[in-house]
Amino acid sequence: YEEIKNGRCPLADNLHAVQTLFDYLVTKKALTKKQSNRLIPKLNNLELGHYHGIPKPHKPETPLQPIVASIHTPATLASKFLNDILAPIYLKVTRKYTFVNDIDVIRQLEKYVADGCFTSRTKFITIDVENLYTMIQRDGALTALARFCVKYCYQGKIGTFTIDHIMKMARLILDTNCFAYNNKYYKQIRGGAMGSAFTQVLANIYLMEWEQDLIQHQIEHNEVYGRYIDDIFMTTNKTMDEINIVLEKAKHKDINIKIDPTISKSVHYLDIIITNENGQLRTSMFHKPTAEPYILPYKSDHPRHIHRNIVYAALLRAARICSHVNDFNSECVRIDLSLLLNGYPAHFITQQFNRFFYLNDALHILQQINEQVYSRLHHNLLYQPTLREKKLQAMMEDSIKTPLVLQPKTWNKEIMYPRYLFDTSLTINFRQEFTN
């Protein structure tokens, strides 16, 4: 970060830069006037970003994670817009080696087992990329972005945007990353802001080039490689000395990328504990020691289906992650206690547990611990696509020629979506009660 020495607030200059760029994009027919107006920030909400640090209590010495709260800055909407153009292309290109959630990790591991690659010697490697968003040099990141756009564009364009348009917008977002702190103004001169949507896809594109050697190594040895933002997961059947040589090479490939690897037969990655038990894969839920069992209180003024779905979603997640029925049973006890602590009535909890097992044809598990029935439940639910995966799939379709973010939204004017039902009764009765 660099202090703005003249003491002048950069807000007006940043707003002018954003307006000038969007006017230019309209004249070049990259955007329509209507699209441009949606991306120009509203003046009554406009403000400079604010810097603050969020403690990370699950890490040694509780470091602070720097955050720039930039929700009302001039380039916030532009940042989200550019992310929505580039992120689907990035995900489509790297989908095989990108984890979209922890369920994705388990699917790849179970395929790894089914392919006969998992042995009693198999070890797991987790790698934390330190300070991913702030560690990259701006010139290097923009150069990587330009190479990415050239490689994956169609006839020099992504949608209606030329590569030059994308690069102009990327520079604008980075150049206007200013914030206030302790009555002084600062500008970020390295990396991108944690609060900016574009920062994540820019860092991902930069890291994509760095990780190619590791990916190729894993392919050659039939091993798993995947990354979720700044967390990398790998499998290996090599000796500690052999795999350390590979990791040391990765450490010295780029001085801007600092990695902290862990190698073991039992690791936690995202929200999963992954264990090699004498050649048998075991996965279960991981809970950070600092996590507290707070969820939406039962007495909160929300439609009752929200509370029902909280119970269902918690059980669904546990069934997808836990590979053994005993681990699932322990997680059910944890969910039960968490619900009770947040004021959920015992009869309501029992009702929702029964609903989950009934809808998934697994009522036998309620009566007795049945490994065979649970194994079927686990696999059936594991391979059902999540709602987020369905949305990502829709975004990735034809993401280069016709990005979804550039398509006009069609509204069915015959359908009304009430924002809030103000009702704790069943939604099935809402139509009749609303009419009356």
pLDDT tens digit string along 310-356? 999 999 999 999 999 999 999 999 999 999 999 999 999 999 999 99
Task: Examine the pLDDT at 425 and tell me if it is beyond 60.
Answer: no
Tell me which residue has tokens 């202090």: 3
Condensed to tens digits (0 to 9), the pLDDT of residues 199-222 reads: 999 999 999 999 999 999 999 999
Task: Examine the pLDDT at 432 and tell me if it is beyond 60.
Answer: yes
Task: Write down the pLDDT at residue 41.
Answer: 87
pLDDT band at 421 (very low <50, low <70, confident <90, very high): low
pLDDT band at 406 (very low <50, low <70, confident <90, very high): confident
116 compared with 412, residue with greater pLDDT: 116
Express as a percent the part of the chain with pLDDT over 90.
65
Task: Write down the pLDDT at residue 435.
Answer: 65
Task: Write down the pLDDT at residue 53.
Answer: 78
Of 253, 41, 235, 27, the C-alpha closest to 129 is 253
Cα–Cα distance measured from residue 147 to residue 220, given in angstroms and rounded to the nearest whole number:
26
pLDDT band at 408 (very low <50, low <70, confident <90, very high): confident
Residue 55: CB atoms within 10 A of its CB come to 11
Task: Examine the pLDDT at 66 and tell me if it is beyond 80.
Answer: no
Task: Examine the pLDDT at 276 and tell me if it is beyond 70.
Answer: yes
Task: Examine the pLDDT at 249 and tell me if it is beyond 90.
Answer: yes
Task: Examine the pLDDT at 145 and tell me if it is beyond 80.
Answer: yes
Q: What is the CA radius of gyration of the chain?
A: 25
Pairing of strands 123-130, 157-158: unpaired
Chain-wide mean pLDDT for the chain? 90
Task: Write down the pLDDT at residue 310.
Answer: 96
Task: Write down the pLDDT at residue 431.
Answer: 67
Average pLDDT over residues 52-66: 75
Task: Write down the pLDDT at residue 120.
Answer: 95
Average pLDDT over residues 248-260: 93
Of 258, 262, 192, 196, the C-alpha closest to 230 is 258
How is the chain split among helix, strand and coil, in percent rounded to 5?
50, 15, 35
Task: Write down the pLDDT at residue 416.
Answer: 72
Strand partners, 236: 123
H or E stretch at 274? strand 272-277
pLDDT band at 58 (very low <50, low <70, confident <90, very high): low
The answer to whether 66 and 1 have CB atoms below 8 angstroms apart is: no
Weakest-pLDDT range from 197-211, 263-277, 315-329, 384-398: 384-398
- pTM confidence score: 0.88
Tokens of 275: 């264990």
The answer to whether 388 and 104 have CB atoms below 8 angstroms apart is: no
Task: Examine the pLDDT at 424 and tell me if it is beyond 60.
Answer: no
